[in-house]
Structure formats: structure tokens, C-alpha cells
Structure 1
Amino acid sequence: MSEKSTESVTVDAEITTREPTPGADRSHPVKWYRSTFYNALILGICNFLAPGIWGAMNSLGAGGQQQPYLVNTANALTFCLMVLSCFFSSVVVRAIGIKWTLIVGTMGYAPYAAGLYTNNRFGNEWLVILGAALCGLSAGVFWMAEAAIALSYPEPYNQGKFLGFWLSFRLGGQVLGGAINLGLNANNNKAGKVSYNVYLAFIALQALGPFAGLLLNKPSRVQRRDGIPVNLKITNSIWDEIKATTSLFFSRNYLLIVPLIAQGVYTEAVMFTFQSLWFSVRARALGSFLSGVVAIISGNLLGAFLDHNKLSLVTRARGAFFVILGLQGAWWIWATVLVTDFHRSKPTYDWVDPGFGKGFALFLFWVAGFQLNYMYLYFVVGNLASTEAEVVRIAGLLRGTESAAQALSYGLNAIPIMGSIGSVYLNFGLWAIAILPAWIVIKEIGVTITDKKLQREIGEVGLANRLDAERKEKSLS
């Protein structure tokens, strides 16, 4: 081969290696109303109006009621039905698409708020149970749809920030609920239920959910800065989809993280029952408000960390795991000591009382920890789904598993001894059980489990080229 031809081959090779790998471009032109940020905003508003306001009611402690047991029973029914609706949610996506699945999912929340209103004002209980059932049937498909959208719509380098921004709206509902209730009950330093006027505002807000969902872009209309189209649809037959979902549930990696999911979400009923039993109405309202603020800040910090691409995927996965689970362990030790004392002394703490801070601070940390667990679980399952269809399935399985754990949690917390002390001990045990099996999966993320979001979007060859280019860039810097 001549010297000239050798130079030509060398130049061609350099040009080839300098070509951007798929998805590496971050300057693709987009219209603001098709952007991933716009869709994160709309998804967040839907989250605020549906589960956010639901969370606002529960963050008041027992849905704002004086005793937590009826509301815990209703919530247990909600989550039982959500297990069912989550499992079949990919079939719903196949029939009507992801956008309309999300819209349908918002429709059952307002009847739940109406049930709490009539119980608070008139004392009837049947609408609480009916509203809980309707909420469970719709919320399962809503939870799956929003999770699948959150994992598929954003660019890989915006995944964590998208999750943090979107989930902030759920906590925004809690902050709003706390602010409303604090304004109405600032002078109520006794145990009891909140004003029924609070629920009228909640019903009106939740009724707006379906209309907000209409503003979401279909996947085919989303425009991303990296130029990669969003493909989020199910094409299998209904029976094949059920079999694929079942097979994914029984896969090794998913079964190993089931205890991690359970210990993270079991906490919700524990912390809200704790709040309703041991604090005055206005202290509960203050807790709802402040814990939401703390959780928004901590969740967005975690999102920024998970997007910090200067750190390897291995470092991000393991670092977040050790910090989140380590803090959880400290909080469970703290909680065990407190509830053992509270069960014996039966206090009702107001913010002017000595000793108020020790239990109130725990509640704030619990809510922040719940948010961190929630976000981290999305990060983990996002790295277990190999295709966009699997994203829909694993989102449904994640939310279904969460619902099963929460159904058990709310059901057990409807029993007085479990609500006051037993569930804290149980959740402490679940945390300990979850660590080892979860670590078996987490330690493989970034090692044998590659960046699945990139792989789904640019393929295995594109991912290999991207990683190779990044290694060369680091070696030259």
C-alpha cells in the first residue's frame, strides 16, 4: 500500500471516530411545548393534582381524621386493588396508549377525597370505602403510566433531574395541604380532626387532573435535545403481554429487589400513623408542610447526583445505595426507641411542648427518606429494563409491588398495636432483610448491567461506541 493511501485510511479513520455517536448531540432543535421539560411539567402537574393531593390528605395524619383506623383500612383496600390494576396496566397501554392511560388514571382520586369529606362532616363511612375502591382501580394504571413516561421521555443525561422535578410536584401537594390546614387550624393545639373545609379544596383540585393530562404530548410528538425519538408502545397480544409481565416479575434481578421496594414504601403508613397518634392538629399540619419542603430539596439533590456523568454509573449506583440505606438504618433505630417510649407514655405533642422536637424531627427525616427511596427505585428498575416495552412492564411491576407492600402496611396499621408500635419494629426488620439481596443487584449496575437507558435508545453497538469514545476522551484529558 502506498504512503498516500495509508494517509488516506488514517484520515478516514479519524473522521469516523470523530463522528458523534447516536444520542451524543445535545443541541437538537425542539419546540418548547414538545420538550422533555414541558412534559415533565405536565406530568408533575398531573402528579400534584392526583397522588399529590392524596398525599396531602394522608400527610395530615390519618387523612385528617382523629383516629387513623378507618382511613388505614380504606387505604389498604386502595392498594390491594392497585396491585391488580398495576399488573394489567400494560394491557391498558396496548389498548389506548400511554397518554390516555395516564388520563384515565387520574379519574378515581376525587371520589376518595369526597369520601373523606362526608366522613369528616357527616360521619358516614361507606363513601370512604367506595372512594378508596375507585381510587385503587384508577391509581394503579396512573402510577404505571407516570413511571413509564418518567423513565422513557427524558434524555439520559436529564433522567435524574426529570425524576426529581416530577416527583417534587407530588410533594408539592403535601406542602399545599399542610399550608391550607395550618392556616385553618393554627390555633388548634389539641388532638382531633381537621376542618372539613380543607376537603372541598382538595376535591376541586383533584377534579382538574384529567384536564391537565390532556396537555401531555404523545410519545411520537416529544422532541428531545439529543434527537432520539421516544417509542413507548405495546404491540404484543394481550395474552403475550401478560406472560411477558409475569416472566419479568420472576426474573432473578427483579425478585432480589422486591424486599428493597417493600421496606421503602411500607414506611408511608408507618410515618403518617405515627404523626396522627402523637401530635396535635396544628403540629400535624406543620409536619405536612415542612416535611414536603425537606423532601423536595433532598429528592432534587439525589436527582442531580444520579445525573452527574463525571462519576461512573458504578459510583452513582453504589454511593446512593450506601447513603440512603445507611440513613434509613439510623432512623429506624431512632424510631424504635421513640415509639417504645410513646407507647408507654401516650403523649400528644404540640409545638410548644417540651420533647416535641425529638418525634417531629424523625417525621421530617422519614418523609425525606421515603422520597429518596422512591427516586432510587426508579433509577434501579430503569437499569433492569432492556426495551421500551419492558419499561412499561417493569413500571407496572414496581408500582404493583409498592402497592402490595402499602396494602399490607395500611392494613396492619389499622390494628391499634401495630399502628402504635409494631409496624416500626416490622419495618426495621424489612430494612435489614432487604440489604443483602439488593446489594447483589446494585453491585452489578455499571459492571455486568450496563446503562440500560442508553442501550434501549441507541442500541448495543451505539452504547459500545459511546462508552469507547468516553474512555478515549478521559485518557486524553
Structure 2
Amino acid sequence: MADISDKANMAGSDNGSGSVPPEYTARPGGLRGIYSHPRTQVALLGLVCFMCPGLFNALSGIGGGGQLDQTTAANANVALYSAFAVIAFFSGSINNLIGPRLTLQIGSLGYGLYIGGFLAINIHPGTKGAKDFAIAAGAILGVCAGLLWTAQGSIMLAYPTEADKAHYIAVFWAIFNLGAVVGAAVAFGQNFHTTAGSVSNSTYIAFIVLTVLGAIIPLFMKDPRKMIRTDGTPVVLSRNPSWKTEIFSLYVALKTDPMIILLFPMFFASNWFYAWQFNDFNGSLFNIRTRSLNSMLYWTAQIVGSLIMAFILDRPNVRRRTRAFLGWGLVFVMVFIVHGWGYHYQKQYTRASVKAIDDIDPNLRMDLSDKEYVGRVCVIPYLLHLHLIVHFSWLYIFCGLLDSMWQTSVYWMMGAMSNDPAKLAYLTGFYKSIQSAGAVGSWRADAVLLPFMNIFASTWALCVAGLLFALPMLYLRVKEHTDLQDEALARMDDHGHVVPVDAIHQPHVTEKEKEAEEA
């Protein structure tokens, strides 16, 4: 573990406040300073996720993994999120033992394999072996994704000061989702002249090449143990000496901060809505090029949504508790806007009506240039159809806004509970584990062909419940600053004993510094 005298630096508040004054280190200048700046490192982290999960999201946002038959993609996602849910719960321990950079490196390796599974389906359509390979690749990706997202959360939330956490989340989220935007744009461009139900081989190959490049980026990131925040406080990584101590730390994190349990319903809902948005809405109503365009709009909206939340949650001269409730209120309103709007459209189609269209000709699915509104009995004039397309696109845009606002809020809430990279790794692991368990449920419901309306209604209900459970946590737990007494793991020694705050060595403070502190 890190030396107990270093733990005071984990308070890391924006003004240096805390029960123990932190030590400060001068930041390097020049190009070295730019490279080692926390914002640069978070941008590189975003670039890793741009290339790997960003392209995965582009493919998922198209619906069905880019395939006409969505069942294999749904089953692959069940395997993916089942493995994800298990590994993510313990990935914080793995992250703290081997370090976040190596954890990130290993976690980035599974994305190309997953995309290769759908390429195999394109090359060998209808074969059981290709479908089984795609499902197995999904399970392997689940293991890798659990590691990647835990390392990502630990880095993203530990590098900024308290005053900049939402800003850093937004920087990461914008770069990460730009990958999905570019991926969807590539799919749209390469499939623009086709109205088929599946993306082309060249699209899959391009995605595989980019994910391999993304897996190389962690090699060029700065060692997190040498990182210094913008306020001069070092980022101190807690490295436990054994699995026994590490697993015990996981227990200590829950025992000493049980308020995290109130966020579990919000965690659970955070990926549940993807099955309806990606497969049951975009994947069911549109042909491949229109799905690609919608996906591009969806992920572009994610960038905007994260910037909106950063503006609210890092608002200067506004108390942190006030910002917490403002952010919660905006997300709550968005849940009802999106799902009230979505309900209007969901009433108009079912699995049976979509299948009836596909049985006649899959090319009859809604296209940007169609003069008919698919699923309607009568022929609708061309301009009216484009008007309806705009309505559908706007709904998908608002789905993207809601997703990024939800995820940004969850990360910010966890960041408001701690500045300790070790504890943040655990919290992120809890988040991704429970999030993935929810995804398993929704993707399995889609795979067994539950009615669209049932999946939609469960999505709406879980989002509302998640926010209501989170409200007491915001009221009882979020404070203006995270002090050392809130960081039980930061005060735990090599034997698993939590050291009292007053027993920790306080860095030498001069009389002049004391006067400045009091002023």
C-alpha cells in the first residue's frame, strides 16, 4: 500500500481543505507539462475508449450489431454483460493490484474480437459456428470491458480536483462518444448506397483495425503513480500487498460508505434502456443506412448532453449540494420527456407488425428517401414522410441526451463521495457490475422476444425508480468537500486496520502557510 503519510493527499479538494493539509508538488513545464497534465491524460483515456468501446457503441447503436437478424446480437450481449457483471464486481481489486494503466491495456483487447464475430456472420451467413463465435466473443469482451471501465473510472475521477470533476467527465465523454459518432458516420457512408439489412464486410474490417490501434494507446499514457493534479496534489495510488487485503478493502468500502447502495438502482437502470433504444426502436423500424444515420445523431447528442451536465455540475459560485439537486432534477425531467415521447411511437408498432414487413421484403423498412411510411396502410406524401423521419430522429437524439446526462450524473455522484483512486476503483466496479446485470436482463428480454411495449415500460419504470432511490443519497451524503475522515480506505494500513485521522502524520506546515490557510 501507499505510505500512510501520503494518504492526506487523497483529500484533493479544490481549495486544499480537509482535515489534514495536503502536500503540494510543483508541476513540470513545457511539452512535458502538457503531456503530463491531467486533462491530457484524461483525453488519452478518452481516445482509448474512442477506438474501442466507442466503435462498439457505434455498432450497437445501429441495432443488432449491424445485422438484420437481431437475435444473435442480443444473445452475444447477454453473454457479454453476464461476464461483465461478474468480473466488474472484483475488477477494482484487480485494478489496485496491477495498476490502472495495465488494467486498461488488458481491458482494451477484447473489442476487436467481438466485432470480428459479426464479420464472421457476414462471411458465413446463417451458420451455427459463426453465431457461436460471436456469442463467445461477447463473453470474452465482457471480461475485458469489466477491467477497462473500472480503470477508466478510477483514472477519470481521481485526476481532477473536486471543482473540475464534471468538466473532466465531459472531456472524456465527448472524446469517447466521438468514436461512436465517427464509427456511425463510417457505417453510414459505406452503406449509403444500400438498403440491405446488414453492414458491409469493409465496415467491420475498418472497425477491427481501429480497435487494435486503440489497444496500443495505453502504452503511451503516463504512469498514474507519477500524476500531479492541477492544484499540485499528487495522485496517490493505494497498492495492497495481497488479494486478502484487497478483498477486505472491498468490504471496508461498502461498510464505511453504505450510501453507495442507494445508487445501485440507478446503476441497474443505466444500461437497461439500450435494448429498447438500439434494437426495439432503431433496429426494428429502419433500414441499415437510416439506422447508421440515427446512430450518428444519437452519439453526437451524447457529447452535447455531457457538456450540459458539466455546465450544471461544475457551476462556479454554486454550492456542490445545490448543483447535485439541479443535475438530478434535469435528468428526472428528461426521463419523462423521452419516455412520454417514446410511448407515442411505441403504441404504433409491435414485433408482429415489424415481422410482417420483413416477411414481405426487409427493404421496405423505413428509409430516408421513402415516399411511404412503413407500417402504415396508406401511402403518405414524400414531404410528410420526411417530417415523420425528423420526429423519429429527434426522439433518438433525445435518447442520446438522456443517456449521457444519466451516465455523467452517476460518475459525478461517485466522484462526490471520494477522491481516493482505490475507493473510486471499487465504486466504479460496483457501478459497472450492477449496470451490466441490468443489461443482461434487458438484452435477454429482447432475445426471448418479449413485447416491445413490455421492455419499454420496464425501462421507464426503472429510470424513475433509480432517480428516486438516489435522492436520499444526495441529501445525506454529498458535502461541499470530501475530507480525509470520509476516506476510510485511504487510512487503512497494510494489515487492514483503518487508522484514525489524528494518528496520520501531518505534513510540515510553516507559520506563513498556517496564516494563509486561516485567511
Q: TM-score scaled to structure 1, two decimals?
A: 0.86
8 Å contact from structure 1 (residues 317, 442) kept in 2: yes
8 Å Cα contact 2:157/2:421 also seen in 1:
no
Give the one of 461, 473, 478 matched to 1:441. Answer: 473
Aligned positions of 1:64-79 closer than 5 A: 64-79=66-81
Deviations 1:166-212 (A, max 9, x none): 11222112111111111112233x46111121000011111123310
Q: Secondary structure at the match of 1:208?
A: helix
Q: What pairs with 1:16-31 in structure 2 (closer than 5 Å)?
A: 28-30=27-29, 31=33
Equivalent-residue separation in structure 2 for 1:74 and 1:185 (angstroms): 23
Asked if 1 retains the 8 angstrom alpha-carbon contact of 2:182 and 2:296, the reply is: yes
Task: Give the alignment of 1:212-227 within 5 angstroms.
Answer: 212-227=217-232
TM superposition shift of 1:96: 1.7
State whether structure 2 residue 338 is matched by structure 1 residue 331: yes
Shift of 1:437: 1.7
Q: Matched residues in 2 for 1:471 and 1:365: separation?
A: 46
Q: Is the 8 A contact 2:82 2:139 kept in 1?
A: no
| Displacement after TM superposition at 1:334 (Å) | 1.8
Mark the runs of 5 or more structure 2 residues left unpaired by the alignment: 1-14, 358-364, 374-384, 492-499, 507-514
Instruction: Quote the offset at 1:434 in angstroms.
Output: 2.2
For residue 445 of structure 1, report the CA deviation from its aligned partner.
4.5
Contact 2:105/2:215 (8 A) holds in 1: yes
The C-alpha deviation readout for 1:268-317, integer Å capped at 9, x for no partner, is 22210111001121111111112222211221221232222311101110
Aligned partner of 2:93 in structure 1 is: 91
Query: Deviation string for 1:108-151 (max 9, x for gaps)?
Result: 11110110111122222122012112111111011100000001
Rounded to whole Å, the distance in 2 between the matches of 1:246 and 1:424 is: 36
Q: Secondary structure at the match of 2:220?
A: coil
Q: How does 1:143-158 map to 2 (within 5 A)?
A: 143-158=149-164
Which of 390, 407, 430 aligns to 2:423? It is 390
Q: Hey, what's the Cα distance between the residues in 1 that align with 2:83 and 2:181? A: 27
Please identify, of 170-179 and 140-149, the stretch whose mean Cα deviation from structure 2 is larger: 170-179
Given the alignment of the two structures, is residue 267 of structure 1 paired with residue 273 of structure 2, yes or no? Answer: yes
**Local SS of the residue matching 1:137:** helix
In the TM superposition, residue 345 of structure 1 has moved relative to its aligned partner by 5.1
Measured after TM superposition, the shift of residue 399 of structure 1 is: 1.1
Deviation of the 1:57 alpha carbon: 1.0
Displacement after TM superposition at 1:319 (Å): 0.1
Pair 1:452 & 2:482 matched: yes
* Structure with greater helix percent: 1
Q: Which amino acid aligns with 1:115?
A: G
- Residues 163 and 314 of structure 2 are in contact (CA less than 8 Å); yes or no, is this contact kept in structure 1? yes
Per the TM alignment, residue 386 of structure 1 is displaced from its structure 2 partner at its CA by 6.7
1:170/1:445 CA distance change after superposition, 3 Å: same
- 2:86 & 2:272 partners in 1: Cα distance? 18
Kindly report which structure 2 residues correspond to 1:141-180, keeping only aligned pairs within 5 A, or say none.
Answer: 141-180=147-186
- Contact 2:86 2:433 (C-alpha < 8 Å) held by counterparts: yes
Map 1:246-261 onto structure 2 (within 5 A): 246=251, 248-249=253-254, 252-261=258-267
Task: State the number of aligned residues.
Answer: 447
Contact 2:275 2:446 survives alignment (8 Å): yes
After superposition, what is the alpha-carbon deviation per residue over 1:202-233, rounded to whole angstroms, capped at 9, x for unaligned?
A: 11111123310111112222232211000123
- Contact 1:104–1:138 (CA under 8 A) maintained in structure 2: yes
Contact 1:112 1:132 in 2 (8 A): yes
Native 8 Å contact 1:62 1:272 kept in 2: yes
Q: Name the SS for the 2:276 alignment partner.
A: helix
Q: Deviations over 1:237-296 (max 9, x none)?
A: 312322432454576412211111222221122210111001121111111112222211
How do residues 246-395 of structure 1 correspond to structure 2 at under 5 angstroms? 246=251, 248-249=253-254, 252-273=258-279, 274-343=281-350, 346=354, 348-352=365-369, 353=373, 354=385, 355-385=388-418, 387-395=420-428
The more displaced of 150-159 and 272-281 is 150-159
Cα distance in 2 between the residues matched to 1:297 and 1:140: 26
The 5 Å alignment of 1:47-58 reads: 47-58=49-60
Q: 1:65 offset after TM fit, Å? A: 0.5
TM superposition shift of 1:406: 1.2
- Amino acid of the structure 2 residue aligned with 1:359: F
The one-letter amino acid of 2:317's match is K
1:233–1:389 Cα contact (<8 Å) kept: yes
Equivalent position amino acid for 1:434 in 2: G
Instruction: Name the CA distance, whole Å, in 2 between partners of 1:191 and 1:211.
Output: 34
Structure 1 unaligned regions, length at least 5: 1-18, 463-468
CA distance in structure 2 between the partners assigned to 1:83 and 1:366 by the alignment: 24
Instruction: Call closer, same or farther: CA 1:302–1:24 in 2, change over 3 Å.
Output: farther
User: More deviation in 420-429 or 356-365?
Assistant: 356-365
**CA 1:387 to 1:225, structure 2 compared with 1: closer, same or farther past 3 Å?**
closer
